[in-house]
Amino acid sequence: MDLARALVDLGERKAVAHFLDRCSHFNLERDKLIDWGVLIRKGINPDLVPYSPGCSPGPC
């Protein structure tokens, strides 16, 4: 999430929100990722931590 945080700080909000949306399809932290994307689109910078890289059952 360090890169995502840096990109948000540099103004790449749309790209980071899209990335989080895509990751939410296979990550156990689905709801958190979706919420972060919503906040970023609203112009709010979420903390983006803590983050656990857990994957859902199946290929990751």
Residue 52 lies in a domain: no
**For residue 24, what are the domain limits?**
2-41
Give residue for tokens 């979420």.
46
Residue 29 lies in a domain: yes
Q: What is the total count of domains within the chain?
A: 1
Residue 49 lies in a domain: no
* pLDDT of the residue at 54: 59
* pLDDT of the residue at 16: 96
Residue 23 lies in a domain: yes
Residue 59 lies in a domain: no
Residue 51 lies in a domain: no
- Tell me the backbone φ, ψ of residue 37, rounded to 5 degrees: -60, -40
Residue 34 lies in a domain: yes
* pLDDT of the residue at 60: 56
Q: Which amino acid is at 19?
A: F
Q: What is the pLDDT of residues 20-57, one digit of tens each?
A: 999 999 988 899 999 999 999 999 999 887 655 556 55
* pLDDT of the residue at 50: 61
* pLDDT of the residue at 12: 96
